[in-house]
Amino acid sequence: MKRIIGIDPGLLHTGWSIIDIAGSTRKYVASGVILPPTKLPFEQRLAFIFNGIDELCKNFKPTECSIEVIFVNKNGKTTLLLGHARAAAITAVAINDIPVFEYEPNKVKKALTGMGHADKDQIYKMLSILLPTAHPKTPDESDAIAIALTHANTSRFDM
């Protein structure tokens, strides 16, 4: 069995999910969103994300991590800030000796819906079919589940 932590990094909202896979079986375990207080200084928000992911790793003991690759926004500053949040999450996973696998947003969409430009509603509908016990409350949480599921489906040949 593998336990995957899926992460949708963000400076304001970092979605996370935990799923178990064994052969062709996928089981939803948990998911949520890390919400650093916006009034915190930038470096403290990064620490909040780091600590949140570290705690998830210690509590759920995932064996692998899947995380979304950053797409380049029109605003370079936004991309850079998102990269910092992503780095905080990856570092938290790395100190727990968990291998990290990266997926581009279009590959996640294609893996779940067959279309690389699927919208959030299409992703959500596929998640409800593939993991009926998962009921994400936010798009960030939904994306984190999709990222974990993409890794589960991509890595099934490595078991």
Which residues have a catalytic role annotated?
8, 68, 140
- Strand-pair category, 64-68 with 25-34: unpaired
What distance in Å separates the CA atoms of residue 90 and residue 81, rounded to the nearest whole number? 14
112: tokens are 């779940």
Chain centre distance of CA 77: 22
What distance in Å separates the CA atoms of residue 106 and residue 116, rounded to the nearest whole number? 4
What type of residue is 11? Answer: L
> How many residues does this entry show for the chain?
159
